[in-house]
Amino acid sequence: MSHFLQNVERVANRLPHPMALFVYLCVIVFGVSALGQLQNWQAQHPTTGDWLTVKSLASEQGLIFIFSSMVKNFMGFAPVGPVVIMALAFSLAERSGLLPALIAKLTLNTPASLLAIAVAFLGVMSSIAVDSGYVVLLPLCAAVFLAAGRHPLAGLALGFACVSGGFSANLLVGPVDAMLSGISSEALSLVTEQPVSILANYYFMVVSVFLVVLVCVSVNRFWVEPYLLKTSPISQLSFVSADTQTASHFGKWFYGTLICIVAAWLVLTLPSDAILRNEQGGLLKGPFMASLVVMIALSVAVLATVYGLENRRFANWQTWVETLEQGIKDIAPYLVLMFVVAQFIAWFKWSELGIVLAIHLAGVLQDFAISGTFALVALMVFSAVLNLFIGSASAKWGLLAPVVIPAFYILGVEAPAVQGAYRVADSSTNIITPLMPYFPLVLAYGLKYEKHLSVGRLLTIMLPYAVALFLIWGSLLVLWYGFDWPLGPSDSK
């Protein structure tokens, strides 16, 4: 396996720098959109029936869009804001000594044999907080592994595999379930009035949590960590050791602040008429989810500030402000890259290339669907490959569902099984596509420890996780469907 991964890494390292990769992609989209308009490339939307035509970025309207929206594309790009906010908060947590102290306590109180399992479980469960796991948990995974004397990139890779690769699995019903079931219900209404419940995949996803943890921990233990220790021993890494002895006192002001923050969270969310609940009294859709990243960041920042003052890490306002500035410096390479990524995604969307391509590919899948089991396997392969080029899970499902759900329903495959197959495949290959918005962020985290970490090397590290998840998790779904087990309480199969 080590020899195989080294060969994969040599090939993958021929990929250009992420900045160059997205610049090339922008140029390709620009040229292909012009060709598409010239050739009148079209696709009929499966839900509305409207004909969608590729628009040229080289046209007058296209050039106006490029120049007039460039700033808006970057400022409104979803991954940028949360990363900046979390970078500020965790810069305070790291340089106040709070984060190193917490990591030291965690590693001392967690048996070494359970450390990887704890990291993996937290990674899978982080999807309940949407994308917060990427910006909150991943840097902690690397730091915890390093503090325990293990390879930090192994911790980062394990966390990334579980946060992103296991994104659909959870013990709790979350935003992912609500988002996908809503799209599935709309698609199923084309052939029947039976809705798809938010619990349609609940039984399967609960079991999937433990499967994903087991698979990722095993891959990390037997393939990834030995490979990393062989190709980049810890002694050759570049990092600053966490100073946990200088300031490790949790005083009364810290605990008092912690109690106040917990109480504030409860007051804002627990009562049926709490401020952060929506009009129906729920938390999944409404102010709570929209405020979650900010609430986490503020909580961390306040606790870190109090801890830093108690332990004399923040002597004055200047020290505190310089700490915030250092947080922005740490993610400067990520922000530069995100400017180009935001333009590529906006151009791809405006030109209609993405939606036309997805509709035609979905049509191919529909044409080749023969039996129920074969159709599910074909859908998983198709979704896994499509995910390498189009990142958003909801956007892809919004395009695929109106085609595949009615087609599979006619074949006798219920919507929950189709939705479950999509979720498994879409999650599995999240971790091996540089086009995923958070992939460059993971690369930036890794560069803190390995200065010459490349896209190819990161893809090589994540490849065993993706292959194992797709094969084993996908096999579980096929087995589940074959035995006619209910995927959720609302599933009639």
pLDDT in tens, 398-455: 767 877 787 787 677 899 999 999 999 999 998 988 777 788 889 889 988 988 888 8
Distances (CA, A) of 317 to 92, 126, 308, 361: 13, 34, 12, 57
Report the alpha-carbon distance of residue 126 to residue 130 in Å, rounded.
Answer: 7
Query: Residue 265 domain-assigned?
Result: yes
Confidence (pLDDT) at 95? 82
Supply the pLDDT for residue 373: 85
pLDDT of residue 368: 67
pLDDT 10s digits, 339-367: 887 888 789 889 888 777 767 766 775 67
Contact 220, 153 (CB under 8 A): no
- pLDDT confidence of 175, banded at 50, 70, 90? low
- Bridge partner residues of 52 (DSSP): 43
Give the mean pLDDT of 304-321. 88
Split at pLDDT 50, 70, 90, the class of 464 is very high
Is the pLDDT confidence value at 106 over 70? no
Task: Report the predicted TM-score, pTM, of the whole model to 2 decimal places.
Answer: 0.69
CB 124 within 8 A of CB 169: yes
Determine the average pLDDT of the residues in 31-55: 86
Q: Kindly tell me if the per-residue pLDDT of 476 is higher than 90.
A: yes
pLDDT score recorded for residue 326:
85
Reported as a pLDDT band with limits 50, 70 and 90, residue 65 is: very high
- The distance in angstroms from the start CA to the end CA of the chain is 40
Residue 109 lies in a domain: no
What mean pLDDT is predicted for residues 27-37?
93
Q: What is the pLDDT of residues 370-391, one digit of tens each?
A: 667 888 998 899 889 888 776 6
Token pair recorded at residue 256? 């008092």
Average pLDDT over residues 321-341: 83
Q: Which residue has the tokens 């409207």?
A: 50
Total domains in the fold of the chain? 1
The answer to whether residue 269 sits within a structural domain is yes
Poorest-pLDDT segment among 21-25, 62-66, 394-398: 394-398
For 242, the token pair is 């966490």
Position 424, amino acid? V
| Number of neighbouring beta carbons within 10 Å of residue 171 | 15
Residue 103 lies in a domain: no
The DSSP annotation for 377-427 comes to: HHHHHHHHHHTTT---HHHHHHHHHHHHHHHHHHHT--HHHHHHHHHHHHH
Please list the residues that pair with 51 across neighbouring strands: 44
Average confidence score pLDDT of the chain: 82
Query: Bridge-partner residues for 44, per DSSP?
Result: 51
By the 8 A CB rule, do 151 and 368 touch? no
The more confident residue out of 310 and 465 is 465
Per-residue confidence band for 47, with pLDDT thresholds at 50, 70 and 90: low
Mean pLDDT (whole number) for 100-127 = 79
What pLDDT score does 282 carry?
72
Question: For residue 285, is it within any domain?
Answer: yes
Q: Is residue 1 part of a domain?
A: no
Chain segment 267-289, per-residue pLDDT in tens: 988 888 888 887 777 776 678 76
More confident residue, 171 or 79: 171
Higher-pLDDT residue of 446 and 243 is 446
| 476, 208 contact by CB (below 8 A) | yes
Window from 19-23, 144-148, 229-233 with minimum mean pLDDT: 19-23
3-state SS, residue 42 = strand
Q: Within a domain: residue 279? A: yes
Q: Which one is predicted more confidently, 419 or 246?
A: 419
Q: Which residue has the higher pLDDT, 112 or 456?
A: 456
Reported as a pLDDT band with limits 50, 70 and 90, residue 244 is: very low
In this structure, is residue 299 part of a structural domain?
yes
User: Using the 8-state DSSP alphabet, how is residue 279 labeled?
Assistant: T
The span from the CA of 150 to the CA of 339, in Å, is: 34
- pLDDT level of residue 238 (50, 70, 90 thresholds): low
How many angstroms separate the CA atoms of 119 and 107, rounded? Answer: 11
Q: What is the pLDDT of residue 365?
A: 58
Q: Is the CB of residue 225 less than 8 Å from the CB of residue 150?
A: yes
Domain extent at residue 268: 249-310
Q: Regarding predicted confidence, which is higher, 133 or 78?
A: 133
- Angle CA 298–301–305, to nearest 5: 140
- Confidence bin at 190 (pLDDT 50/70/90): low
Average confidence (pLDDT) over 144-162: 91
Q: Residue 392's pLDDT is what?
A: 61
Q: Which residue has the higher pLDDT, 374 or 204?
A: 204
Is 60 exceeded by the pLDDT of residue 241?
no
Q: Are 377 and 385 in contact (CB under 8 A)?
A: no
Q: How high is the pLDDT of residue 366?
A: 64
Share of the chain above pLDDT 70, in %: 83
Q: What are phi and psi of 283, to 5 degrees?
A: -110, -20
Continuous H helices in 312-392: 317-330, 332-350, 353-368, 372-386
The residue among 158 and 232 whose pLDDT is bigger is 158
